Every structure is written in C-alpha cells, then in structure tokens.
Structure 1
Amino acid sequence: MSTTLQAAPARVAPRRSAPATGVWLVATLAVLVLAAATSVAFGARSVGWNDVVAALAGQEETVAQAAVASRIPRTVLAMVVGAALGMAGAVLQGLTRNPLADPAILGVTWGASLAVVTGIVFFGLSSATGYVWFAIVGSAGAAVLMHVIGSLGRGGATPLKLALAGAAITAAFSSLVSAILLPRLDVMDRFRFWQIGGVGGANTATTLQVLPFLLLGALLCLVTARGLNSLALGEDVAAGLGESVTRTRVLAGSGAVLLCGAATALAGPIGFVGLVVPHACRLLIGLDHRRLLPFSALTGAVLLTVSDVVGRVVARPSEIDVGIVTAVVGAPVFIAIVRRQKARAL
C-alpha cells in the first residue's frame, strides 16, 4: 500500500449550508457547556451537588467545596488551551496543506517547551508572563527551522518534507529538554508533570496574564481565514486572485505561533488536539476557514475539557494528565490518517 502526502491538485471545497453550520455550532456550544459543568462537578474526589452549588456561590467551608472551587480555573484553562490548539492546528494544516500537520508533530510545541525549560533552568523564570515570552520565541524558532529544513532539496517545502522535518525537530528538542532537566533534580521534580502536559496547576491569575497573547493569536488567524481559503487552491492561483501569499503566510503563521506558545506556557506540551480537531470539524462544516477556525476552537475546547474529566475520573483517587489522554485518543487517528491511501493535502 502506498501513501503519499504530496500536494493535491487544487479542488473546490464542498460547501455546507448556513443552517447546517448553525445547527452544528449550537450543538457544539451545548456540548461545551455540558463538558464545563461536568468538569466542575466530577473529579478525583467525589462531591455532592450541595457542595457544587455552594462552591459556585463562593463558599469554601469544607474540603469538598474547596475541591469544587479548584476545578473552576482548571476548567477555564482546559477550554482556553484546547481552543488555542484546535485553531492553531487548523491554521498549520491550511498553511502546509498537510493533513498530518499538528503543533506537536511539526515541532512547534516542543520548541516552546525547550525555550521554557531553558528559561527556568538558566534564567530563573518563575512566572507565566516570563514563560509565555520564551515559549513564543521557541515556537517561532521551531517553525522557522522546520520550514528551512523542509525547503531543502529538490521541490522545495513539500508536505512530506515538512512533516519529516517536524518529526526530526520534535525528537531532537524533546531529547534536549530531558538533557537539560536530568542534572537538575530540583527543577525536574517541579516540572516533570508540566512536560507531559496538564491543566492541574491552573489558577485564574496565570490564565489572565497569558490571555492577551491568545487573543492576539486568534485574531491574526481569523483575519487570514479568507487568505487560507485561497492558498488551498495553490499559491499561483491565490496570487492570481489578488491574494498576498507572503502576507497571509506571515500573519497566519504568527497567529499559530502565538497560540501554540501561549498554550504551552500555560499547560505544557499537549499533542494531537491540533491534529484531531480540524479533521473532525471539516467532516461537519466543510473546508471554509472562515467557519473552520472558530469551529475548531470550540471543538478543541470540548475535547481538552472532556479529556481532563476522563483523566480525573478513571484513575480515582489519583488522576491521569490530560496530555496522556489526548495521546491515547489522537494516536489511532494519526495512524488512520497515515494509512489512508492517496492521502492528499488540504
């Protein structure tokens, strides 16, 4: 069986009617609300509904109420990070025309992780604001390096070469992270769970500090949605339609880097969300990035919130980090995409 990831001939995306898209949007919002309520009500500790109501009213007089109160910022963080990774994955797949593009697979997430760990060990970083600047620089550096390596040789930056370059960067950067942390047991103990990816250490103040970076990244991605639609037809066609290919690539890539860097600074490297979510959304609403990007954000929030709940419930009284749960969910999807015959760029 042969599998190719080379760019496919330009094709027109099947359009979904506005009513159908509206139905899926309302349904996704309803599922997100339900997932958030479930995240607050269920966790490693069993609590009663009276404790849930009391905690939502601001009371923390009992251990159960305090446990529920601690789940609120955790739930918000899971939704924010999931939305960022879902949208970033859709943008990266659109930019590279590669169905396997994902912030973790392309090395962007691990570039942020390496930068953050370097800042912690060598520069004494201890705040979310410091993390996010290093994470964004690391994400940008990894993205540029991935594109440079993928552009070498005949044919330029093909989807297959970009995927291979990203896989090599991921392996190299993850090894460097381990090499930096292993001699520093104090830092290793503090951040070993952060490396896996999780939202257990959430607090409202930290999320608010990073939120402006996430909003700016989302805005940059959304304003390039029409340009991403043009790029799906090929660079020559996009240029013929009056689209500035370079501007679209720079703005969309910058938005994806901001989203990946800020999300990694908050929750560590979480994989497969940016891979699974855009594919699921395209099946429901089509390929129009003007709808795909916000829908991917909502679906990513749902996926990460539900994954966090599953990790807390199945391992009671302990818990499984959300990065492990998303890997369990995403790995089969990744294998299925790779095994598809004649896999084509988007």
Structure 2
Amino acid sequence: MISDEEEQLYSIALTMVPGIGHIGAKRLVSEAGSARYVFRNRKELPELIPDINQRVVDALDCPQAVVRAGRELDFIRKKNIRCLTFIDEDYPSRLRECDDAPIVLFFKGNADLNSLHILNMVGTRHATGYGTQLCASFLHQLKALCPDVLVVSGLAYGIDIHAHREALANDLPTVGVLAHGLDRIYPYVHRKTAIDMLDNGGLLTEFLTETNPDRHNFVSRNRIVAGMCDATIVVESAEKGGSLITAELAEGYQRDCFAFPGRVADEYSKGCNQLIRDNKASMILSAEDFVSAMGWNTGAHPVKTENVQRSLFLDLSEEEQKIVSILAKQGSLQINTLVVEADIPVQKMSALLFELEMKGVVRVLAGGMYQLLN
C-alpha cells in the first residue's frame, strides 16, 4: 500500500531528476503506476517499459533529489499546502489528460480544481480601460448565467489581476497559477489579492520553493492555465505575448478558445483580432455569447428523462449507461465536462461517445456539444 506521503515525496523528487522532463516523468508514472515504484524499482523498469533509455534508469539513482523533496514536504506541511500527485483524485482531471502535465502540483486554497465549469481569462500586462471594462462586465454577466464557474488566470499585471479581482467582486472562485513556488508572491503588489483568493479560490503551482519567477517559468505556467480549463478567453493582446501562447496551448489540448475583438488600429487588440481572423478563436461579445457557445446554459435544450429512458438500448455498457444518465440529468454537455462528471479518460470517452452516436443514442451539436436523442 502506497502512502500519500511516500507518493508525494517521490513525485517531487522525480521532477528534479536531470534529463527526465514533464513528458518523460508523466510517462514513467503512467507506466509504472506510481512515482514510488519508479524510484524503488528503477532497475526493473526496462522490463515494464521495453524502450526506456538506460540513461533514464541511471539518472533515477539520485538520492539528492529525494533529500530535497523531503525539505519541500516539510515546508508544505508547515504552511498547510496541499501536494497533489498525478494519481491523487483531486488532481485536475482535465490537466491530467495533457501529454506534458506536471506530475505534482502544490495548492493552497479551497477551490474545486475539478469544478464542472472552468475557464481562464488572459491578456496583455498593459491592459487598457477597454480591457478592464470587458473583465468587469463579462464576469458580472457570467455570475448570473453560470454562478458555479471557476475563473483561472496567472496573477500577472494587466488582464490577469483584473480577472481575479472582478471574479472576487462577483463572488466567483478564482485560482492563480504561479510561475514560482508558494514561498512568495510575484508581483508583490498583488499580495493582498492573492490572500483574498485563498478564501474563495486559491493559488496553484508546479514549482518548488526557492524557484525564481524566471521568464521560461511563465511559459511553463501557461500550459497549466490552458490545460486545467474547458476554455481560454483572450481579452486583450498585442501581436505577440504570453496570452497568445496560452491560446495556442489550449488549441493543442483541444480546448475551446475565445477572443474579444477590438479596433483594428489598437495595439492591444491586434492579437485578439488575429486569433479571430485565423479561426484560432471564436469571437465573443458578451458572457451570454460564451455560455451559449460552451453549452453551459443547459436549460436552453432540456431533455426529458422519461423520453430518454424509453430510447435506451438494452446492450449499453455500464460506462455508456453512465454517460446517458449524466446527459439525461444535465442536458447537452461538451466532452471535457463529461470526462469530469463520469471520471472516464478523454480518449475512452471519445470512443464511447462515438459508439453511442452510431447506436443513435446521442448526436453532436455545434460547438462539440453532445445531446441525447429522444
């Protein structure tokens, strides 16, 4: 039996083994079943993973990584920080499906990282009055339309911090994903907002303490922002910037991406306008546009449970029946939401939905929504 503490220790240690990387670490844990097994049985790994490089096996003989991981565990215990390993049930399930997902996360707060509805709002660090007003009006409208949504951003200057503050103002939980450890807040001027977020949301990071907020860490951080959410919303962006990287990552993870348009001559609308022009983001003008596109206004297409029950096939598998029951209860849903609700991996969910479509039980609507047929 693997204890949580053991798995946390070896998961943290694995992130510090030279030459492994995010994708390599995830593969090792996925194939071996746990980080503890990876370290304790490293010499047997070639039998379990035939194409593993011997260099990786040798690199795992790294006692200094385990010692450093022990120090990190001492810190998070003292600060009441949660350590979420890749096999922890509270680890963000949407993020788990990404190839380069981190194998361990550190979280302080009270948000449900597997909330039914999760979006991120990102944009330029040089937000204009137009951008800040968009954040305010969008989240105010969203509270009325979808009051259980979790708002994610990066606690950075500009659009990020305005998204967090407006979420708090509208009593929406909000999580900041950091590019450093939980032993500091950067930028420091956002400290008060960060503290407020602990009571309605939280702070999340993959980085250990004593990690500097270096430039490359922000790019790494962006993949978590994109991967843990159903959708990315770019509010304002110049022609180049971190928010466009987040949008690109979201597309790679097969997440939805949206952007607010702006005047063609405005520097911080050029990135959004390009995303829309290149069909890399759908244009939205309001929270109503967004909720409708995501199918989060499930009441618009109610499905009568009794009609569905009459149409069920006797040969539905247990997992297929589970999907049908969820759709019958909640109405049309996207695949990412179904993955969370049914606790079925996205690859398997895709195959199950295809089978249900072939059986005439569900159909695909615009925006990738799945709906039961009567």
Query: Is TM > 0.5 for Structure 1 vs Structure 2?
Result: no
Q: Which has the higher contact order (CA 8 A, sep 6+)?
A: 1
Looking at secondary structure, tell me which structure has more helix per residue: 1
Looking at secondary structure, tell me which structure has more strand per residue: 2
Larger Cα-atom Rg: 2
TM-score (norm 2): 0.22
